[in-house]
Homo-oligomer: A and B are copies of this chain.
Amino acid sequence: MFKVLKKDKATKARLGRLYTDHGEINTPCFMPVGTQATVKTLSSEDIKECGAEIVLCNAYHLYLRPGTEVIKKLGGLQKFMSWHGPILTDSGGYQVFSLAELKKVTDEGVEFKSHLDGSRHMLTPENVIRIEGDLGADIIMPLDECLHFPCERDYAEISLKRTNEWARRSKDALLKNQTKTNCKQLLFGIVQGASYLDLREQAARELIDIGFDGYAVGGLIVGESWELTHEILEHTLQFLPEDKPRYFMGLGSPLDIVRAVKGGVDMFDCVMPTRYGRNGTAFTSIGRVVVRNGAYTLDEKPLDENCGCMVCKNYSRAYLRHLFNTSELLGHRLVSYHNTYFYQHLIGQLRQAIKSDELDAFAKEFQKSYRDNNR
């Protein structure tokens, strides 16, 4: 199901391959985020062209719209969105806690009112597994409780106990449900534990005892400093098994991804490429480019002179600036496309660097040339 093909000599990075019913995924990998069964502004053909091998969708959003039954009847998520490769579905635990109203968390699950129409719903570990089974994703995430930063120690302990119990119930539910789905589904455990290093260790050990197909680090990038994010991540990674994929949920900026790959992370997802794309900010080999900037009015150069994507081959900064200045939707799409390609290209370069034992040198070079004003 997962093979480590090579370990980097100088860092903890690994080159791997993950096998699913809908195809193989080379790791480290970056998953474009298609929350509502669409990577915003991009078609499935675009995502494939950009080099992505797996996309992420969100069970909470799809459960509410168009509804799990609809997607099930239409033959599952792959067919629905015309993406014929692997899909990972996030349970939507994070969305319940961040978007829904009047949440009530009990040991049974989370009761909430839909952020769309106020209708009442209940998510439990068991029905989330059923929802994700109906959606038919290749990799599924269990329901967990997401905490904000900072979080009191007492509550973090109570919550962790609940999240890990939910993880156990999720695995039981999957074992019962597996025969009913179209494809073999891989279930990952999510390591929580807030910002307490010992709770992170405890979380990891308990999940490993239950046994999952992969392990995710969750509950980070919720308000803590970037140094603390990486400290908790790196602390947690040491307890995760070598022979299973490791997924850092919600990361991140190019510099953060490079650092986390060096720490041994195999899988990433983040809305940044498309969210920034829609705002007119491009990721390039030398840092961010805000295309609306007046300096680009007459700039014939592509977004990134080192990029081989469809947008950089065909369109100038001056044209992209014009599209954003005139509120033309094509601008959103072209910069989202470039950013998605940039992330896939970067993660491909990281894989290549691990293969040729040059990751440390590549990372240093990248950190030198990539200026990130926001960090």
Residues of A275-301 at the interface with B, using a CB-CB cut-off of 8 Å, are: 297-298, 300
Residues of A36-82 at the interface with B, using a CB-CB cut-off of 8 Å, are: 36-38, 40-45, 65-66, 70, 73-75, 80-82
A330 touches B40 (CB 8 A): yes
Residues of B within 8 Å of A80, CB to CB, are 316, 318-319, 322
Q: Known contacts being A318-B66, A319-B80, A328-B36, is A333 close to B298, with CB within 8 Å?
A: no
Q: Known contacts being A74-B298, A74-B300, is A82 close to B330, with CB within 8 Å?
A: no
Q: Known contacts being A65-B322, A65-B325, A329-B332, is A314 close to B38, with CB within 8 Å?
A: no
Residues of B within 8 Å of A328, CB to CB, are 36, 38, 40
Residues of B within 8 Å of A44, CB to CB, are 314
B319 touches A65 (CB 8 A): no
Residues of B within 8 Å of A332, CB to CB, are 329
Residues of B within 8 Å of A66, CB to CB, are 297, 318, 321-322, 325
Q: Known contacts being A300-B74, A334-B43, is A322 close to B82, with CB within 8 Å?
A: no
Question: How far, in whole Å, are A32 and B12 apart by their CA atoms in the complex?
Answer: 54
A99 smallest CB distance to B (angstroms): 14
Is A323 an interface residue, CB under 8 A from the partner? yes
Question: How far, in whole Å, are A270 and B70 apart by their CA atoms in the complex?
Answer: 36
B42 touches A330 (CB 8 A): yes
A310 touches B45 (CB 8 A): yes
Place the interface of chain A in its size category: 35 or more
Residues of B within 8 Å of A323, CB to CB, are 38
Is A315 an interface residue, CB under 8 A from the partner? yes
Residues of B within 8 Å of A310, CB to CB, are 45
Is A306 an interface residue, CB under 8 A from the partner? no
Question: How far, in whole Å, are A323 and B66 apart by their CA atoms in the complex?
Answer: 9
Is A326 an interface residue, CB under 8 A from the partner? yes
Question: How far, in whole Å, are A37 and B74 apart by their CA atoms in the complex?
Answer: 38
Question: How far, in whole Å, are A334 and B334 apart by their CA atoms in the complex?
Answer: 15
A291 smallest CB distance to B (angstroms): 13
A153 smallest CB distance to B (angstroms): 39
A339 smallest CB distance to B (angstroms): 15
Residues of B within 8 Å of A314, CB to CB, are 43-45, 82
B319 touches A81 (CB 8 A): yes
A373 smallest CB distance to B (angstroms): 26
Question: How far, in whole Å, are A322 and B37 apart by their CA atoms in the complex?
Answer: 9
User: A81 — nearest CB in chain B belongs to which residue?
Assistant: B319
A303 smallest CB distance to B (angstroms): 13
User: A330 — nearest CB in chain B belongs to which residue?
Assistant: B38
A43 touches B330 (CB 8 A): yes
Question: How far, in whole Å, are A73 and B318 apart by their CA atoms in the complex?
Answer: 11
Residues of B within 8 Å of A315, CB to CB, are 82
Residues of B within 8 Å of A321, CB to CB, are 66
Q: Known contacts being A80-B319, A298-B70, is A333 close to B65, with CB within 8 Å?
A: no
What 6 A-B pairs are tightest by C-beta distance, nearest first? A82-B314, A66-B322, A36-B326, A41-B329, A38-B330, A38-B328
